[in-house]
Amino acid sequence: MQTAVYTAYLLIGGNLGNRFANLQMAVELIENHCGSIAQQSSIYETAAWGLTEQPDFLNQVLVLHTSLAPATLMQQLLLIENSMGRERSVKMGPRIIDIDILLIDDLIIDTPLLRLPHPALPLRRFALLPLAEVAPDAVHPVEKKPICQLLKDCKDHLNVQKITAPTA
């Protein structure tokens, strides 16, 4: 029997510590524990969304090929966050790392552990912009629109700036 392979679109980000190193560590841990990273967006510096009185975030979208079932993938990503020192003391507060599943194929899931597609995706430019870079034609399974259209329609005007990682 063949194992299913899912394509998951992950948003990684953080605004504490060495933000570049934290993204890089998250990428390595995801690849080591969750599957194969097929593509990475550019890294974007973004103003904090929700709780705005905090440092800017670095965000990046990863395209992951995984044989982990969606709930198992979510559990593994939470373990990675915890292993990197993620603390959940303030909702939408500063954090070393945050790993969100934006989409997995065209799945729609609504459980206490996992909601797919990510319910806030159409509202967040900082998620849509890097997602549109790697998957502009992927269709949001609830909105029934491609990601590039959701980005055009997005009312969020917070600053999202493409940056380059420092060398060495």
3-state secondary structure of 148: helix
Question: pLDDT, tens digit, for every residue of 3-35?
Answer: 789 999 999 999 999 999 999 999 999 999 999
Q: Residue 136 in contact with residue 147, Cβ under 8 Å? A: yes
* pLDDT at position 168: 38
Q: How would residue 88 be classed by pLDDT, with cut points 50, 70 and 90?
A: confident
Mean pLDDT, the chain, whole residue set: 92
The structure's pTM equals 0.93
Q: Is the pLDDT of residue 106 over 50?
A: yes
What are the angstrom distances between the C-alpha of 5 and each of 43, 138, 163? 26, 17, 32
Which residues are designated catalytic? 86, 95, 98, 100
Tell which wins on pLDDT, 36 or 49.
Answer: 36
Domains of the chain: 6-163 (3.30.70.560)
